[in-house]
């Protein structure tokens, strides 16, 4: 069995070293990649690895080589500290790039829309996370995220282990063994469910200042900016002083990060708007949340935190793991969780345009955001009715499948690669072929 280990730990993490050593004792021939030592840029979210160079990300870094190694493996192992129920930003950076290993076209799995596989077979997935203290909420989110990743990356089986505290060598080896055994029992295991998100108090102090964090690489031209911007326009109409930060540039240097942390500290309400990247938040956004959490360590305040997630799939439910991570971030960072909104098919409907410039399909979106703005401006949480309204599919799944395939082919045609769109550049060469 050919095993590839992606170690997403930060420098100096002694627990990571112990876990990696114990894992290699079980899998001595495994190849280990220390991700922090690799050149891995952020996924641009432009989908050119689907429509211009099918199956290959053209970013000038190590990610294409690592994506190829994934497809040449039988088992892929993620090692990561558990961050708000998700992966570290270091690991998430390479996870984001794995979209090059699937097709832009869609299929239905368990009654839900997913991307079709590009290759005939994919490696099994094992994720080992660790946390300093027991945290059932964070652990449940992590297990659910790994399960979702396995579906979207077409793993034949998956396993997950969460190590707590500093187990001795025997316990460490036993827990790793359980994770490996879970791969063999995958078909018998029940899908891990997301925990119920903490409910905020019915009412709080109305905010005077609100900060919008736009977590998309497309910054002002993004669907995230359109959704968050419309919400903040209506907060401003209700007397709230508003400000917007684009996360990618705002946290790109120590000086900018320091200013952004001060602004997040000064706001009574912080709202995060972002696109879904492989069941979670984009890596740079996770990195920003890691910095905010470190800055706020040990604090608890009346500040509220809310989030708006959007994805390209027609079902808004794909956003659930990401919103759970946002809720967990709020809890761990001393914010009061004020709720989340999820939009499916966001790019197809909004496409970065101002909502007031769109046709009737945007009416439910605007109504939902107005409801959310009214509640947040009163110091309340986002009402469930607003979430239900935004989550309604704009188009039926069968129509989405039909027009989605056509749209991707047309984009590939512009680059003259419509006949190569299903290329398998990393297809492993098997013995006897």
Q: Pick left, alpha or beta for residue 230 (phi over 0 → left; psi -120 to 50 → alpha; otherwise beta).
A: alpha
pLDDT at 46: 94
How many Cα neighbours within 13 Å face the side chain of 123? 25
Q: Is 262 exposed, middle or buried (0-12, 13-18, 19+ CB in 10 A)?
A: exposed
Confidence at 225, pLDDT banded by 50, 70, 90: very high
d(CA 77, CA 125) in angstroms, rounded, equals 6
Q: Is 367 exposed, middle or buried (0-12, 13-18, 19+ CB in 10 A)?
A: middle
pLDDT at 399: 82
Topology of domain 3-188 in CATH is: Rossmann fold (3.40.50)
Mean pLDDT of 138-147: 97
In this predicted model, which residue has the larger pLDDT, 300 or 371? 371
In this structure, what token pair is assigned to residue 81?
Answer: 């500290």
**Domain residue ranges of the chain, discontinuous segments joined by +:** 3-188, 209-391
Sign of CA dihedral 382, 261, 275, 357: positive
Q: pLDDT of 87-127, one tens digit each? A: 999 999 999 999 999 999 999 998 999 999 999 999 999 99
Which residues make Cβ contacts (< 8 Å) with residue 422, sequence separation at least 6? 54, 103, 118
Mean pLDDT of the chain: 94
In this structure, what token pair is assigned to residue 230?
Answer: 């419309």
In this predicted model, which residue has the larger pLDDT, 8 or 359? 8
pLDDT at 196: 84
d(CA 278, CA 433) in angstroms, rounded, equals 33
d(CA 195, CA 198) in angstroms, rounded, equals 9
User: Are both 3-188 and 209-391 of the same fold?
Assistant: yes
Confidence at 429, pLDDT banded by 50, 70, 90: low
In this structure, what token pair is assigned to residue 124?
Answer: 């099994």
Judged against a pLDDT cut of 80, whether residue 425 lies above it is answered with yes
Judged against a pLDDT cut of 60, whether residue 431 lies above it is answered with no
Regarding beta strands 124-131 and 158-164, do their DSSP bridges make them parallel or antiparallel, or are they unpaired?
A: parallel
d(CA 133, CA 112) in angstroms, rounded, equals 35
- Give the range among 145-154, 168-177, 236-245 with minimum mean pLDDT: 168-177
Q: pLDDT of 391-411, one tens digit each? A: 998 777 778 888 888 899 999
Mean pLDDT of 226-248: 98
* Measured CA distances, 92 to 5, 82, 178, 206, 217 (Å): 14, 11, 24, 35, 15
> Are residues 143 and 170 in contact, defined by beta-carbon separation less than 8 angstroms?
no
pLDDT at 346: 78
pLDDT at 184: 85
Q: pLDDT of 353-393, one tens digit each? A: 999 999 888 999 999 999 999 999 999 999 999 999 999 98
Q: pLDDT of 255-296, one tens digit each? A: 999 999 999 999 999 999 999 999 999 999 999 999 999 999
CATH architecture of 209-391: 3-Layer(aba) Sandwich (3.40)
- In this prediction the pTM is 0.96
Confidence at 433, pLDDT banded by 50, 70, 90: very low
Mean pLDDT of 48-53: 98
């Amino acid at each position: 069995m050919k095993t590839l280990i992606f170690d997403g730990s930060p420098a100096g993490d002694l627990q990571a070293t112990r876990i990696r050593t114990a894992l290699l004792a079980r899998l001595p021939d495994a190849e280990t990649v220390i991700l922090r030592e690799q050149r891995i840029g952020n996924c641009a979210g432009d989908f050119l690895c689907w429509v211009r160079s099918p199956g290959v990300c053209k970013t000038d870094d190590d990610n294409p080589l690592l994506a190829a190694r994934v497809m040449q493996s039988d088992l892929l192992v993620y090692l990561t500290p558990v961050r708000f129920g998700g992966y570290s930003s270091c690991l998430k950076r390479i996870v984001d790039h794995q979209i090059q290993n699937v097709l832009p076209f869609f299929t239905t799995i368990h009654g839900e829309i997913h991307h079709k596989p590009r290759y005939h077979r994919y490696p099994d997935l094992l994720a080992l996370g660790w946390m300093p203290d027991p945290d059932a909420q964070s652990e449940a989110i992590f297990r659910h995220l790994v399960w979702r990743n396995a579906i979207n990356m077409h793993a034949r089986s998956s396993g997950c282990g969460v190590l707590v505290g500093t187990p001795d060598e025997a316990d460490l080896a036993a827990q790793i063994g359980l994770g490996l055994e879970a791969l063999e029992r995958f078909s018998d295991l029940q899908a891990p469910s997301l925990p119920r998100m903490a409910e905020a108090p019915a009412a709080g102090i109305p905010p005077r200042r609100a900060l919008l964090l736009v977590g998309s690489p497309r910054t002002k031209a993004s669907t995230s900016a359109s959704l968050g911007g419309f919400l903040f326009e209506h907060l401003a109409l209700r007397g709230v002083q508003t400000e917007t930060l684009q996360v990618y540039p705002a946290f790109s240097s120590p000086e900018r990060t320091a200013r952004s942390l001060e602004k997040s500290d000064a706001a009574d309400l912080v709202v995060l708007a972002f696109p879904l990247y492989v069941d979670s938040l984009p890596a740079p956004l996770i990195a920003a949340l890691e910095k905010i959490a470190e800055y706020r360590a040990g604090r608890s305040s009346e500040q509220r935190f809310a989030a708006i997630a959007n994805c390209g799939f027609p079902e808004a439910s794909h956003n659930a793991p990401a919103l759970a991570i946002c809720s967990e971030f709020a809890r761990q960072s001393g914010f009061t969780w004020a709720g989340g909104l999820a939009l499916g098919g966001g790019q197809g409907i909004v496409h970065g345009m101002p909502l007031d410039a769109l046709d009737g399909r945007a009416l439910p979106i605007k109504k939902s955001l107005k409801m959310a703005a009214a509640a947040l401006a009163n110091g309340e949480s986002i009402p469930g009715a607003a979430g239900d309204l935004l989550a309604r599919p704009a188009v039926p799944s069968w129509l989405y499948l039909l027009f989605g395939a056509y749209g991707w082919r047309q984009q590939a045609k512009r680059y003259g690669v419509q006949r190569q769109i299903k290329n398998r550049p990393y297809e492993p060469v098997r013995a006897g072929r």
